[in-house]
Amino acid sequence: MPALPWRMLVRDLVLVASTWFVWRADALLRIETGFVPAAIAVLAGTLAALCAYLAHEWGHLLAAKASGAVVHYPERVTSTFLFFFDVARSDSRQFLAMSLGGFAASAIALPLLVLWLPAGALSTWVAYALAGAGLIATLATELPPFFRVLRGGRLPRGFVYRDDAHQGA
């Protein structure tokens, strides 16, 4: 098992580069013509929010690996998830570290969106809306199991928490 999912890293770096190019087009159109087609603005905002999501996921993965947790990588580069956490071969401390890594990455990525994106642009509002929806989804889906495990509960099962390396990967 490789230390990092190199195919996923390349995929995500391509997405980050694509985001930069689309945001550059958005900025140039805004400056040169004062008008940005809605499709470009929506694409730019969507890609920026996707980059924030990817930062969150990489934060989870890097913290999981740093804690010594066992993770499994998806077979397909098109997977929504960067990795699956092996709850049968990892412990509560590793789960908490993995969770905190994603929270920390989001705590860095979201303020950077606010600082870097141009105020008032449609693309910025799209990025804010989607990143905000991602934040709400994170609060709703990741905080409850984190606090349950923190209080001594068992590790969650299902979704990305697997006790079988090949289950749906």
* 51-110 pLDDT tens trace: 999 999 999 999 999 999 999 999 899 998 999 999 999 999 999 999 999 999 999 999
Residue 124 lies in a domain: yes
Residue 168 lies in a domain: no
| pTM attached to this predicted model | 0.91
Residue 108 maps to a domain: yes
Please spell the DSSP secondary structure of 35-80, one letter per residue: ---HHHHHHHHHHHHHHHHHHHHHHHHHHHHHHT--EE--SSTT-S
User: What is the number of domains present in the chain?
Assistant: 1
Residue 69 to residue 150: CA distance in whole angstroms: 16
Please indicate, yes or no, if residue 167 is contained in any of the structural domains: no
Q: Which of 79, 104, 87 is nearest to 145 (CA)?
A: 87
Domain-located, residue 1: no
Residues spanned by the domain of 145:
6-162
Q: Which of 84, 79, 50 is nearest to 69 (CA)?
A: 84
Query: 113 in a domain, yes or no?
Result: yes
Is 169 within a domain?
no
